[in-house]
Amino acid sequence: MSHETDRVEAAREAVRLACAVTKQVQAALDDVRAITKDDKSPVTVADYASQAIVGHILRERLGEGVVLVAEEASAFLRDDDNAAHRDATLAAVQEVLPELDADAMLEAIDIGSGDTHHGGFWTLDPVDGTKGFLRNQQYAIALAYVERGTPTIGVMGCPNLPADFSEPLDAPDKHGCVYVAIKGEGVWQYPADNDRADGTHIKRLDHAKGEAISVCASVEKAHSNVSDTDRILEYLAAQGEPAGEPTRLDSQAKYAVTGRGQADAYLRLPTRKGYVERIWDHAAGCLVASEAGCFVTDIHGKALDFTHGRGLEKNKGVVCAPPRVHGLMMGAIEALGIGGE
C-alpha cells in the first residue's frame, strides 16, 4: 500500500469509530448530564472521546511519527475535580476501544498537541457544531491531512446527516454519512454505520441561470454575518438571480451539503474585525467541497492558506459554491464593500 492509501484507510476508520461513539453520547444526553451534573457535559465528553479515538487509531495504524493538531488537551480530565467527566469519557471510548484504560485515553487525547511546523500533519475538530450536537441535530467530526500547506486528504463524519435529500436536517438520521476526499481524485460518500459499504462518488452540477440560490446557513446566526448574507441575496435578486429558502444546519456538514448539491452556497462572512478562522474548522470540509466541484475561497477570492499555524491568518471569511454561484457571490461582495476595512 502507498503512504496515501494507508493514511486514507486509517483516517476513515478513526472517523467512523468517532462517529459511532459521539452518536451514542448524543443519544444519552440526559444520562451524561445526570452523571456529571453539568448541562454542557455531553459535548465535552464527546469532544474528548472523539479526539482520543482518532489520536489512538492514527498512531496505531500509522506509527509514532504521526503529528496531530487538534482542539483539545487532557488537562481538564486529569483534574480530579472533573473525575465524573473523565469516567464518562472513558466509558464512551471503551465502547469501541475496550483495551484503553484511563491513562492510555489521556495519552491519546494529548497526541493532538502537535504543531504545524511539519511538511505534513493531521488536523482535527473532534466535534464541530457543539450546539447542534446538544440540540440532537447536525455536527461533524472533521479530520484532514495537510501537506506543505494544502489539505490533501479530508475525512468528515456527519453522523446525523441523511444521504436522502428528502429527509429532514433537523433530526438525527439513523445511518449518517462519512465523506472521503483525496486531492485531485474526488470525493466519496459512505454510510457512517457500515464500514463495508461501497462509496458513492459525489460530483455536483453547476448552477443554472434562473434557478433559485439556496444558501447553506448556520442555525447559530452568530457564526456568520446574517445581515451581510441578506444584503448579498437582495443584491443578486435585483440582478435577476432569485433567492431560495436557506438550508440551515450547524458544523462543517455545510461543506458537504453544498458539495453534494443540496444547497448552492455556504457563506461564512466576518462577524467582527480581526477574527481568525481556525484550520480544523475548514481543512476537511473545504477539500470535500472542492473535490465535489465547488470553488472555496475567502471573501476576497484568495485560496484558503493553511501555512500560518493554527489560524487562517491570511484569509477573511469563506465562500463555498459551485463556479457560477461563486462568481455571483464574489461580485456581490465586491459591489457591496463587504469585508472592507
pLDDT of residue 221: 59
Q: What percent of the chain has pLDDT over 90?
A: 89
Residue among 47, 128, 250, 298 flagged as catalytic: 47
Residue 233 has pLDDT above 50, yes or no: yes
Q: Please check whether residues 275 and 303 belong to one and the same domain.
A: yes
Q: Please check whether residues 166 and 306 belong to one and the same domain.
A: no
pLDDT tens readout for residues 11-35: 999 999 999 999 999 999 999 998 8
Give domain status of residue 97, yes or no.
yes
Separation between Cα atoms, residue 315 and residue 304, nearest integer Å: 6
Domain count, the chain: 2
The reply to whether 130 belongs to the active site is yes
Confidence of residue 235 (pLDDT cuts 50, 70, 90): very high
Q: Please check whether residues 56 and 193 belong to one and the same domain.
A: yes
Domain that holds residue 315: 215-336
Helix axes 3-27, 41-62, angle to 10 degrees: 160
Do the Cβ atoms of 191 and 175 come closer than 8 Å?
Answer: yes
Q: Please check whether residues 314 and 286 belong to one and the same domain.
A: yes
Residue 126 has pLDDT above 70, yes or no: yes
- Which amino acid is it at 201? H
Q: Please check whether residues 191 and 235 belong to one and the same domain.
A: no
Separation between Cα atoms, residue 212 and residue 307, nearest integer Å: 36
Do the Cβ atoms of 332 and 232 come closer than 8 Å?
Answer: yes
pLDDT of residue 73: 96
Residue among 130, 229, 247, 297 flagged as catalytic: 130
Give domain status of residue 188, yes or no.
yes
Q: Please check whether residues 114 and 170 belong to one and the same domain.
A: yes
DSSP string across 219-273 = SSGGGS-HHHHHHHHHHHHHTT--B---EE--STHHHHHHHTTSSSEEEE--SST
**What is the spatial order of strands in the sheet that 265-268 belongs to?**
247-248, 215-217, 265-268, 318-321, 295-297
Mean of pLDDT values over 62-84: 96
Instruction: Quote the mean pLDDT of the chain.
Output: 94
Q: Please check whether residues 151 and 21 belong to one and the same domain.
A: yes
Q: What is the CATH number of the domain that holds 240?
A: 3.40.190.80
pLDDT of residue 1: 46
Mean of pLDDT values over 79-101: 97
Do the Cβ atoms of 321 and 266 come closer than 8 Å?
Answer: yes
Confidence of residue 297 (pLDDT cuts 50, 70, 90): very high
Confidence of residue 40 (pLDDT cuts 50, 70, 90): confident
The reply to whether 47 belongs to the active site is yes
